[in-house]
């Protein structure tokens, strides 16, 4: 089982955007630079996060990306599903119906117990991911990371964020 | 995130082998036939299960595969790790150290909090997988599945199992 490495990039970018003041945005190129990623590679993942309404993009020369809602309301599950899709990792191929002793399809009314058990375990994974909010990641970063790293990250955000005048943070959080 | 479809095949084969009497074995070809799989495809996964000591293989013309220990002592986690490997699904690329504001490597002593949070969720997944034993899968199959499917499966096992005279079940369960 493997998660695409886009998940790591997506969480780092979302955590960085959580540090932007007010309604400001940050261009994708700046985030690519921050993590040594190819801008076109990162753009694909930023678009997926935007499509999933984790981020929103502001067009135009002074635009960029920002969180679509507060970091308290974004979980790791939101980000993982945005990048990896909502399908379960275990995909039942119903091989119980494909072999030499298979009966007519109408007999297989109940779902295969193997599928049921595998999906139950995946629910536990998703619950655990949903219990970590982006704001937890940011708070842990600020309290547990070497202060030089925190300072460098803050300085990067201050340098690359772009203030926007379109909406206030309160307007953004309205339903 | 996607599990390889070998996991489905592996769990079905292990559950089928749990139905074999005593120390009997079943050839890989028979299990491939049971689930409509290519024998060479299935062989790869049976070898992985054998390498992980979930199954054991008995060589020779009357040989085949059998469980390496009782179904009560095999979990879904054992099977998933045998097929998918033991590495976590989330693989931290330390991109925090690869961008334009990265500091010298010595500053990054503590693990990245994003990695810590992702691995914590994966532990929940693995715990859930470890809580389902192969014997639970078999018991649920016998009690919850249409009796015609159970009967067809039993008949297939009876037809294709190969009795072995090398060891008794009690000897097999000795440490």
**B chain contacts of residue A141, beta-carbon cutoff 8 Å:** 113
Judged by CB atoms closer than 8 Å, whether chains meet at A99 and B34 is answered as yes
Asked whether residue B121 is domain-assigned, the answer is no
Only one residue has tokens 């979980």, namely: A75
**What pLDDT does residue A167 have?**
53
Asked if residue A137 lies in contact with residue A38, where contact means CB atoms within 8 angstroms, the answer is no
Asked whether residue A19 is domain-assigned, the answer is yes
Q: Is the pLDDT of residue B71 over 90?
A: yes
**What pLDDT does residue B175 have?**
46
Q: Is the pLDDT of residue A174 over 80?
A: no
Identify the residue among B45, B101, B106 best suited for mutation to test binding to A, counting A beta carbons within 10 A and taking the highest: B101
For residue B65, give how far its alpha carbon lies from the nearest alpha carbon of chain A (Å). 19
Asked whether residue A124 is domain-assigned, the answer is no
Distance between CA atoms of residues B86 and A141, nearest Å: 28
Distance between CA atoms of residues B81 and B88, nearest Å: 10
pTM of the model: 0.91
Q: Is the pLDDT of residue B171 over 60?
A: no
Asked whether residue B123 is domain-assigned, the answer is no
Asked whether residue B163 is domain-assigned, the answer is yes
Mean pLDDT for chain A overall: 93
Q: Within a 10 A sphere around the Cβ of B73, how many other Cβ atoms?
A: 14
**What pLDDT does residue A133 have?**
98
**What pLDDT does residue A62 have?**
82
Exposure b/e, A128-140, CB count within 10 A at least 16 = b: bbeebbbbbbbeb
CATH of the domain at A75: 1.10.10.10
Confidence of residue B172 (pLDDT cuts 50, 70, 90): low
**What pLDDT does residue B33 have?**
98
Asked whether residue B94 is domain-assigned, the answer is no
Domain that holds residue A150: 5-88+133-172
Mean pLDDT for chain B overall: 93
Task: Identify the bridge partners of residue B65 per DSSP, sorted by sequence position.
Answer: B26, B57
**What pLDDT does residue A173 have?**
54
The stretch A78-83 carries a mean pLDDT of 98
Asked whether residue B125 is domain-assigned, the answer is no
Q: Chain A residue closest to B110 (CA)? A: A145
Which of A7, A9, A113 is the closest to B90 by Cβ?
A: A7
Domain count, chain B: 1
Q: Is the pLDDT of residue B23 over 60?
A: yes
Asked whether residue B166 is domain-assigned, the answer is yes
For residue A49, give how far its alpha carbon lies from the nearest alpha carbon of chain B (Å). 16
Per residue in A84-119, pLDDT (tens digit) is 999 999 999 999 999 999 999 999 999 999 999 999
Cα distances (angstroms) measured from residue B31 to each of A45, A108, A131, B16, B119: 41, 20, 41, 8, 35
Q: Is the pLDDT of residue B16 over 70?
A: yes
Phi, psi of A108 (to 5 degrees): -90, 65
Identify the residue among B42, B87, B116, B117 best suited for mutation to test binding to A, counting A beta carbons within 10 A and taking the highest: B117
Which of B3, B101, B141 is the closest to A153 by Cβ?
A: B101
**What pLDDT does residue B80 have?**
98
**What pLDDT does residue B2 have?**
87
Confidence of residue A175 (pLDDT cuts 50, 70, 90): very low
The stretch A67-71 carries a mean pLDDT of 98
Q: Is the pLDDT of residue A170 over 70?
A: no
Confidence of residue B107 (pLDDT cuts 50, 70, 90): very high
The stretch B31-52 carries a mean pLDDT of 98
* ipTM value for the complex: 0.92
């Amino acid at each position: 089982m493997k998660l695409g490495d886009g998940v790591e990039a997506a969480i780092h970018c979302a955590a960085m955007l959580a540090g932007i003041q007010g309604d400001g945005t940050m261009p994708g190129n700046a985030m690519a630079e921050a993590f040594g990623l190819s801008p076109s590679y990162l753009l694909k993942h930023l678009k997926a996060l935007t499509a999933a309404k984790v981020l929103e993009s502001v067009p135009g020369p002074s635009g960029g990306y920002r969180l679509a809602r507060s970091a308290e309301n974004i979980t790791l599950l939101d980000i993982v599903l945005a990048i990896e899709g909502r399908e379960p990792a275990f995909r039942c191929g119903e091989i119980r119906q494909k072999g030499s002793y298979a009966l007519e399809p109408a007999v297989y009314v109940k779902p295969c117990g193997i599928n049921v058990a595998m999906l139950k375990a995946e629910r536990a994974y998703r619950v655990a991911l949903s219990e970590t909010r982006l704001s937890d990641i940011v708070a842990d970063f600020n309290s547990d990371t070497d202060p030089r790293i925190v300072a460098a990250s803050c300085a990067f955000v201050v340098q690359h964020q772009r203030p926007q005048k379109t909406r206030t943070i309160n307007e953004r959080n309205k339903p």
